[in-house]
A and B are shown apart, each in its own frame.
Chain A
């Protein structure tokens, strides 16, 4: 059965700290891995990763994928209170016979950044 596991489930840090969020997966027909940030309600897209070893970066956030060890990390440096949110990892899998794709979601990591 396809699964995506995120760790830790919850994290509390102080402003200025650096955090690393983990996402491991066991998915057949892997296409891509995506990170989303969910504040209050609507998830917002952060990164899509398809190739191993290529870091994607956006400001203080960065992410990398290891397709051999089947995991990804999301780093946030110099955290701010506005980074407080649930960070969701999702893996996109394809089904060539029926030409369908689906997302398998992790449970998320709840990050709280205290001033």
Chain B
């Protein structure tokens, strides 16, 4: 039973470029949440997708957008990259939009470096 898988594991981009990160949720899960974790910081909630719609959003600009597909996989897109976007991007999945947070399963993340 595959857990949460994310790709790529590492990515290097330059300022102004665009990036797409991908996440496949754990089998049986239908809800995907994205987090940004800067070095030495705790994860910051970006948004959550359920039934192919964005259901909740954290305090992130519109440069951060996402998508969820019918198979529950999800993408995180970041436009006009800034140096400050360099971070570990974590995807977490759960079953049901209202699942309590102990049921979150995290992927290993994508380490994004913006030069």
Contact = CB atoms under 8 A, between A and B. Distances in A.
Interface in A31-82: 32, 34, 40-45, 48
B112 interface: no
Nearest to A40: B108
B101 A90 contact: yes
Given A32-B101, A40-B108, A42-B108, A102 B45 contact: yes
A12 interface: no
B113 interface: no
Given A32-B101, A41-B88, A102-B56, A88 B106 contact: no
A42 B93 CA distance: 12
A50 B98 CA distance: 17
Which interface class (under 10, 10 to 19, 20 to 34, 35 or more) fits B? Answer: 20 to 34
B106 A42 contact: yes
Given A100-B56, A105-B42, A92 B90 contact: no
Which interface class (under 10, 10 to 19, 20 to 34, 35 or more) fits A? Answer: 20 to 34
Nearest to B88: A41
Given A42-B109, A43-B90, A43-B106, A101 B40 contact: no
Interface string A102-115: 11011110000000
A111 B106 CA distance: 20
B45 A44 contact: no
Contact of A41 (B45, B58, B98, B109): B109
10 contacts: A40-B108, A41-B90, A41-B111, A48-B100, A88-B43, A90-B42, A90-B101, A102-B45, A102-B56, A103-B43
Given A41-B108, A42-B107, 12 more contacts: A32-B101, A32-B102, A41-B109, A41-B111, A92-B101, A100-B56, A102-B56, A102-B58, A103-B45, A105-B42, A105-B44, A107-B42
